[in-house]
Amino acid sequence: MISVPVLEASQVAEARRRATGVARTLGFDDTSGGRVAIVATELATNLVKYGTNGEILLGTFEDETGTGVEILALDRGAGISDVAGALRDGHSTGGTPGTGLGAVKRQSQAFDIATWPGRGLAVVARITDTVSKGSPARPVLVPHFGAVGVPLRGEAVNGDSYCIRPHGAGWTVLVADGLGHGPQAAAASDAAVRVFRAHEHEQPSRILAAVHAGLGHTRGGAVSVARYDPECGTLVFTGIGNVAGAVITGGVTKRLVSLSGTAGLVARRIQEFEYPFTPQSLLVMCSDGIGTSWSLDNYPGLVAAHPSLIAGVIYRDFARGRDDATVVVAKDLAS
Protein backbone atom coordinates (compact mmCIF):
# COMPACT_ATOMS: atom_id res chain seq x y z
CA MET A 1 0.00 0.00 0.00
CA ILE A 2 0.98 3.63 -0.46
CA SER A 3 1.31 5.60 2.78
CA VAL A 4 0.68 9.35 2.65
CA PRO A 5 1.23 11.30 5.91
CA VAL A 6 -1.43 13.99 6.27
CA LEU A 7 -0.34 16.47 8.90
CA GLU A 8 -1.08 19.76 7.12
CA ALA A 9 -3.37 21.14 4.40
CA SER A 10 -0.71 20.96 1.66
CA GLN A 11 -0.69 17.16 1.93
CA VAL A 12 -4.37 16.80 1.03
CA ALA A 13 -3.56 17.35 -2.64
CA GLU A 14 -0.84 14.68 -2.49
CA ALA A 15 -3.30 12.15 -1.05
CA ARG A 16 -5.79 12.97 -3.81
CA ARG A 17 -3.12 12.72 -6.53
CA ARG A 18 -1.83 9.36 -5.31
CA ALA A 19 -5.38 7.98 -4.95
CA THR A 20 -6.39 8.93 -8.47
CA GLY A 21 -3.13 7.41 -9.68
CA VAL A 22 -4.16 4.07 -8.15
CA ALA A 23 -7.56 4.41 -9.84
CA ARG A 24 -5.90 4.97 -13.22
CA THR A 25 -3.83 1.80 -12.84
CA LEU A 26 -7.14 -0.10 -12.52
CA GLY A 27 -8.56 1.56 -15.64
CA PHE A 28 -11.13 3.71 -13.86
CA ASP A 29 -12.91 6.19 -16.12
CA ASP A 30 -13.14 9.90 -15.30
CA THR A 31 -16.39 9.53 -13.38
CA SER A 32 -15.14 6.71 -11.17
CA GLY A 33 -11.79 8.42 -10.76
CA GLY A 34 -13.67 11.52 -9.63
CA ARG A 35 -15.38 9.52 -6.88
CA VAL A 36 -11.98 8.28 -5.71
CA ALA A 37 -10.74 11.89 -5.68
CA ILE A 38 -13.72 13.01 -3.58
CA VAL A 39 -13.20 10.25 -1.01
CA ALA A 40 -9.46 10.87 -0.71
CA THR A 41 -9.93 14.63 -0.44
CA GLU A 42 -12.65 14.45 2.21
CA LEU A 43 -10.79 11.88 4.34
CA ALA A 44 -7.51 13.76 4.13
CA THR A 45 -9.20 17.08 4.91
CA ASN A 46 -10.78 15.53 8.01
CA LEU A 47 -7.34 14.36 9.15
CA VAL A 48 -5.98 17.89 8.90
CA LYS A 49 -8.93 19.46 10.73
CA TYR A 50 -9.57 16.92 13.45
CA GLY A 51 -6.82 14.31 13.52
CA THR A 52 -3.40 13.91 15.09
CA ASN A 53 -0.58 12.18 13.20
CA GLY A 54 -2.94 11.46 10.32
CA GLU A 55 -2.11 8.93 7.61
CA ILE A 56 -3.84 7.84 4.40
CA LEU A 57 -3.20 4.30 3.11
CA LEU A 58 -3.99 3.60 -0.54
CA GLY A 59 -4.23 0.23 -2.21
CA THR A 60 -6.34 -2.04 -4.37
CA PHE A 61 -8.67 -4.89 -3.45
CA GLU A 62 -10.03 -7.90 -5.29
CA ASP A 63 -12.37 -10.31 -3.55
CA GLU A 64 -15.93 -11.64 -3.61
CA THR A 65 -17.28 -8.08 -3.17
CA GLY A 66 -15.57 -6.71 -6.28
CA THR A 67 -12.39 -4.96 -7.43
CA GLY A 68 -11.32 -1.39 -6.85
CA VAL A 69 -9.49 1.19 -4.77
CA GLU A 70 -9.25 0.89 -1.00
CA ILE A 71 -8.56 3.98 1.12
CA LEU A 72 -7.85 3.89 4.84
CA ALA A 73 -7.71 7.05 6.94
CA LEU A 74 -6.04 6.69 10.33
CA ASP A 75 -5.36 9.19 13.09
CA ARG A 76 -4.58 9.34 16.80
CA GLY A 77 -6.80 12.26 17.72
CA ALA A 78 -9.67 12.56 20.19
CA GLY A 79 -12.04 10.38 18.17
CA ILE A 80 -15.75 10.97 17.55
CA SER A 81 -18.35 10.63 20.28
CA ASP A 82 -21.35 10.63 17.91
CA VAL A 83 -20.62 8.57 14.77
CA ALA A 84 -24.21 8.65 13.51
CA GLY A 85 -24.24 12.42 13.84
CA ALA A 86 -20.89 12.77 12.08
CA LEU A 87 -22.31 10.92 9.06
CA ARG A 88 -25.25 13.31 8.71
CA ASP A 89 -24.81 16.15 6.25
CA GLY A 90 -24.73 19.46 8.05
CA HIS A 91 -23.12 18.05 11.18
CA SER A 92 -19.82 19.74 11.99
CA THR A 93 -17.70 20.49 15.02
CA GLY A 94 -15.23 22.58 13.07
CA GLY A 95 -17.35 25.29 11.47
CA THR A 96 -17.43 23.53 8.03
CA PRO A 97 -20.49 22.51 5.93
CA GLY A 98 -20.26 19.05 7.55
CA THR A 99 -20.45 16.95 4.38
CA GLY A 100 -17.12 15.10 4.75
CA LEU A 101 -17.86 11.61 6.11
CA GLY A 102 -21.36 11.63 4.63
CA ALA A 103 -19.90 12.31 1.20
CA VAL A 104 -17.32 9.56 1.67
CA LYS A 105 -20.02 7.03 2.53
CA ARG A 106 -22.17 8.01 -0.46
CA GLN A 107 -19.29 7.67 -2.92
CA SER A 108 -18.12 4.30 -1.57
CA GLN A 109 -19.37 0.79 -2.23
CA ALA A 110 -18.06 -0.29 1.18
CA PHE A 111 -17.56 1.95 4.19
CA ASP A 112 -16.81 1.38 7.85
CA ILE A 113 -15.67 3.52 10.73
CA ALA A 114 -14.20 2.81 14.16
CA THR A 115 -13.51 5.27 16.93
CA TRP A 116 -13.05 5.30 20.68
CA PRO A 117 -12.65 8.31 23.03
CA GLY A 118 -9.02 9.36 23.05
CA ARG A 119 -8.04 6.59 20.63
CA GLY A 120 -8.49 8.36 17.33
CA LEU A 121 -10.51 7.52 14.26
CA ALA A 122 -10.13 4.84 11.57
CA VAL A 123 -12.14 4.86 8.34
CA VAL A 124 -12.10 2.44 5.42
CA ALA A 125 -13.69 3.20 2.06
CA ARG A 126 -13.76 0.97 -1.00
CA ILE A 127 -14.61 2.40 -4.43
CA THR A 128 -15.28 0.31 -7.54
CA ASP A 129 -15.37 1.53 -11.12
CA THR A 130 -19.12 0.91 -11.36
CA VAL A 131 -21.97 1.83 -9.05
CA SER A 132 -24.35 -0.98 -8.08
CA LYS A 133 -27.88 -0.63 -9.47
CA GLY A 134 -29.31 -2.85 -6.72
CA SER A 135 -31.85 -1.83 -4.12
CA PRO A 136 -30.48 0.43 -1.38
CA ALA A 137 -32.04 -2.00 1.10
CA ARG A 138 -29.89 -4.83 -0.24
CA PRO A 139 -27.27 -5.80 2.36
CA VAL A 140 -23.69 -4.84 1.55
CA LEU A 141 -21.35 -7.80 1.21
CA VAL A 142 -18.59 -7.81 3.80
CA PRO A 143 -15.40 -9.53 2.62
CA HIS A 144 -13.93 -12.36 4.63
CA PHE A 145 -10.44 -10.88 4.60
CA GLY A 146 -8.63 -7.58 4.58
CA ALA A 147 -5.02 -6.50 4.84
CA VAL A 148 -2.63 -3.63 5.32
CA GLY A 149 0.88 -3.84 3.93
CA VAL A 150 3.17 -0.81 4.21
CA PRO A 151 6.87 -0.65 3.32
CA LEU A 152 9.43 0.81 5.67
CA ARG A 153 9.40 4.57 5.19
CA GLY A 154 11.88 5.50 2.47
CA GLU A 155 11.58 2.15 0.65
CA ALA A 156 9.77 1.92 -2.68
CA VAL A 157 8.66 -1.70 -2.24
CA ASN A 158 7.30 -3.79 0.61
CA GLY A 159 9.47 -6.73 1.65
CA ASP A 160 6.34 -8.51 2.92
CA SER A 161 3.77 -10.33 0.79
CA TYR A 162 0.54 -12.16 1.45
CA CYS A 163 -1.96 -14.28 -0.46
CA ILE A 164 -5.33 -15.77 0.47
CA ARG A 165 -7.00 -18.44 -1.62
CA PRO A 166 -10.30 -20.30 -1.30
CA HIS A 167 -10.06 -23.92 -0.17
CA GLY A 168 -13.35 -25.79 -0.26
CA ALA A 169 -15.74 -23.83 1.92
CA GLY A 170 -12.79 -22.23 3.73
CA TRP A 171 -9.51 -20.59 2.79
CA THR A 172 -5.73 -20.79 2.99
CA VAL A 173 -3.57 -17.78 3.86
CA LEU A 174 0.15 -17.22 3.42
CA VAL A 175 2.11 -14.30 4.87
CA ALA A 176 5.79 -13.94 4.00
CA ASP A 177 8.30 -11.49 5.46
CA GLY A 178 11.47 -11.31 3.36
CA LEU A 179 14.64 -11.00 5.41
CA GLY A 180 15.42 -7.31 5.94
CA HIS A 181 13.64 -4.86 3.67
CA GLY A 182 13.89 -3.36 0.20
CA PRO A 183 13.95 -5.05 -3.26
CA GLN A 184 15.76 -8.24 -2.18
CA ALA A 185 13.33 -8.81 0.67
CA ALA A 186 10.45 -8.21 -1.75
CA ALA A 187 11.96 -10.74 -4.20
CA ALA A 188 12.00 -13.38 -1.45
CA SER A 189 8.42 -12.77 -0.29
CA ASP A 190 7.12 -12.59 -3.87
CA ALA A 191 8.80 -15.94 -4.58
CA ALA A 192 7.01 -17.37 -1.53
CA VAL A 193 3.66 -16.31 -2.98
CA ARG A 194 4.47 -17.88 -6.36
CA VAL A 195 5.34 -21.21 -4.74
CA PHE A 196 2.24 -20.99 -2.57
CA ARG A 197 0.01 -20.54 -5.63
CA ALA A 198 1.59 -23.60 -7.23
CA HIS A 199 0.95 -25.76 -4.14
CA GLU A 200 -2.12 -24.11 -2.59
CA HIS A 201 -4.25 -27.27 -2.56
CA GLU A 202 -1.72 -29.32 -0.59
CA GLN A 203 -1.58 -29.61 3.18
CA PRO A 204 -0.21 -26.49 4.97
CA SER A 205 2.98 -28.25 6.08
CA ARG A 206 3.65 -29.43 2.50
CA ILE A 207 3.01 -25.90 1.22
CA LEU A 208 5.49 -24.53 3.73
CA ALA A 209 8.07 -27.21 2.85
CA ALA A 210 7.72 -26.29 -0.83
CA VAL A 211 8.15 -22.59 -0.01
CA HIS A 212 11.24 -23.38 2.08
CA ALA A 213 12.76 -25.31 -0.84
CA GLY A 214 11.74 -22.66 -3.36
CA LEU A 215 13.36 -19.75 -1.51
CA GLY A 216 16.87 -21.21 -1.64
CA HIS A 217 17.92 -18.75 -4.37
CA THR A 218 16.73 -15.75 -2.31
CA ARG A 219 17.82 -14.20 0.98
CA GLY A 220 14.96 -16.11 2.63
CA GLY A 221 12.45 -14.94 5.19
CA ALA A 222 9.77 -15.79 7.70
CA VAL A 223 6.70 -17.56 6.32
CA SER A 224 3.47 -18.81 7.89
CA VAL A 225 0.52 -20.67 6.38
CA ALA A 226 -2.98 -20.99 7.87
CA ARG A 227 -5.93 -23.04 6.59
CA TYR A 228 -9.50 -22.80 7.81
CA ASP A 229 -11.82 -25.80 7.39
CA PRO A 230 -15.37 -24.78 8.41
CA GLU A 231 -16.65 -28.35 8.20
CA CYS A 232 -14.20 -29.44 10.90
CA GLY A 233 -14.30 -26.11 12.75
CA THR A 234 -10.50 -25.98 12.80
CA LEU A 235 -7.62 -23.80 11.71
CA VAL A 236 -4.30 -25.46 10.88
CA PHE A 237 -1.24 -23.21 11.30
CA THR A 238 2.40 -23.80 10.45
CA GLY A 239 5.25 -21.33 10.34
CA ILE A 240 8.99 -20.83 10.00
CA GLY A 241 10.20 -17.68 11.72
CA ASN A 242 8.41 -14.71 13.20
CA VAL A 243 5.29 -14.17 11.08
CA ALA A 244 2.94 -14.31 14.05
CA GLY A 245 -0.62 -15.57 14.11
CA ALA A 246 -3.50 -15.34 16.57
CA VAL A 247 -7.09 -16.54 16.72
CA ILE A 248 -9.64 -14.37 18.51
CA THR A 249 -12.89 -16.04 19.61
CA GLY A 250 -15.36 -14.60 22.10
CA GLY A 251 -12.89 -11.96 23.24
CA VAL A 252 -10.16 -14.53 23.97
CA THR A 253 -6.91 -14.29 21.98
CA LYS A 254 -4.94 -17.49 21.33
CA ARG A 255 -1.42 -16.94 20.00
CA LEU A 256 -0.36 -19.51 17.39
CA VAL A 257 2.90 -21.47 17.33
CA SER A 258 5.53 -20.80 14.66
CA LEU A 259 8.87 -22.61 14.87
CA SER A 260 12.26 -20.93 14.66
CA GLY A 261 14.20 -20.74 11.42
CA THR A 262 14.37 -18.86 8.12
CA ALA A 263 12.52 -20.21 5.10
CA GLY A 264 14.97 -20.81 2.29
CA LEU A 265 17.95 -21.05 4.65
CA VAL A 266 17.31 -23.21 7.72
CA ALA A 267 14.23 -24.99 9.05
CA ARG A 268 14.99 -27.78 11.47
CA ARG A 269 11.36 -28.79 11.74
CA ILE A 270 8.07 -28.02 10.00
CA GLN A 271 5.03 -28.86 12.09
CA GLU A 272 1.30 -28.21 11.90
CA PHE A 273 -0.70 -27.03 14.90
CA GLU A 274 -4.50 -27.26 15.02
CA TYR A 275 -6.81 -24.77 16.75
CA PRO A 276 -10.60 -24.41 17.11
CA PHE A 277 -12.02 -21.83 14.69
CA THR A 278 -15.72 -20.95 14.59
CA PRO A 279 -17.78 -18.68 12.30
CA GLN A 280 -17.32 -16.01 15.00
CA SER A 281 -13.53 -16.39 15.12
CA LEU A 282 -10.99 -14.01 13.66
CA LEU A 283 -7.51 -14.85 12.34
CA VAL A 284 -4.84 -12.17 12.55
CA MET A 285 -1.40 -12.68 10.96
CA CYS A 286 1.36 -10.08 11.32
CA SER A 287 4.84 -9.64 9.94
CA ASP A 288 7.71 -8.64 12.24
CA GLY A 289 6.99 -4.97 11.56
CA ILE A 290 4.07 -5.24 13.99
CA GLY A 291 4.85 -5.44 17.70
CA THR A 292 3.97 -8.70 19.40
CA SER A 293 2.11 -6.89 22.20
CA TRP A 294 -0.88 -6.01 20.01
CA SER A 295 -4.31 -6.72 21.44
CA LEU A 296 -7.91 -5.84 20.59
CA ASP A 297 -9.01 -5.80 24.22
CA ASN A 298 -9.13 -2.00 24.38
CA TYR A 299 -11.14 -1.62 21.14
CA PRO A 300 -14.75 -2.59 21.95
CA GLY A 301 -16.65 -3.82 18.91
CA LEU A 302 -13.66 -3.87 16.56
CA VAL A 303 -13.81 -7.64 15.97
CA ALA A 304 -17.12 -7.11 14.13
CA ALA A 305 -15.71 -4.39 11.85
CA HIS A 306 -14.60 -4.61 8.23
CA PRO A 307 -11.43 -6.80 8.16
CA SER A 308 -9.39 -4.03 6.52
CA LEU A 309 -10.41 -1.66 9.31
CA ILE A 310 -9.24 -4.16 11.93
CA ALA A 311 -5.91 -4.52 10.09
CA GLY A 312 -5.60 -0.74 9.86
CA VAL A 313 -6.10 -0.17 13.58
CA ILE A 314 -3.52 -2.83 14.47
CA TYR A 315 -1.07 -1.26 12.04
CA ARG A 316 -1.73 2.27 13.32
CA ASP A 317 -1.21 1.45 16.98
CA PHE A 318 1.35 -1.36 16.94
CA ALA A 319 3.66 -0.86 13.93
CA ARG A 320 7.29 -0.78 15.08
CA GLY A 321 8.28 1.84 12.49
CA ARG A 322 11.63 0.21 11.68
CA ASP A 323 10.55 -2.50 9.24
CA ASP A 324 7.93 -3.30 6.63
CA ALA A 325 4.57 -3.84 8.35
CA THR A 326 1.83 -6.20 7.21
CA VAL A 327 -1.39 -7.31 8.92
CA VAL A 328 -3.83 -9.81 7.40
CA VAL A 329 -7.24 -10.42 8.96
CA ALA A 330 -9.52 -13.30 7.89
CA LYS A 331 -12.98 -14.43 8.96
CA ASP A 332 -15.42 -17.17 8.08
CA LEU A 333 -16.83 -16.60 4.59
CA ALA A 334 -20.39 -16.53 5.91
CA SER A 335 -19.79 -14.33 8.98
Q: Any idea where the domains of the chain sit in the sequence?
A: 2-128, 145-331
- Domain range 2-128, CATH architecture: 2-Layer Sandwich (3.30)
Q: For residues 198-203, give the mean pLDDT.
A: 98
Amino acid at 184: Q
Task: Yes or no: say if 256 and 245 are a contact pair by the CB < 8 Å rule.
Answer: yes
- Which H or E element spans position 228? strand 221-229
pLDDT, residue 310, reads 98
Q: What is the pTM of this model?
A: 0.92
100-144: pLDDT as tens digits: 788 899 999 999 999 998 889 999 999 999 765 443 444 455 679
Q: pLDDT confidence of 81, banded at 50, 70, 90? A: low
Strand residue runs (E) in the chain:
2-6, 54-63, 66-74, 110-115, 121-128, 145-150, 160-167, 170-178, 221-229, 234-240, 244-249, 252-255, 273-276, 282-286, 325-331
Using CA atoms, how far apart are residues 3 and 316, in angstroms rounded to an integer?
Answer: 11
Q: What is the CATH code of the structural domain delimited by 145-331?
A: 3.60.40.10
Of 54-63, 107-116, 136-145, 236-245, the one with minimum mean pLDDT is 136-145
Could you give phi then psi for residue 82, rounded to 5 degrees?
A: -125, 90
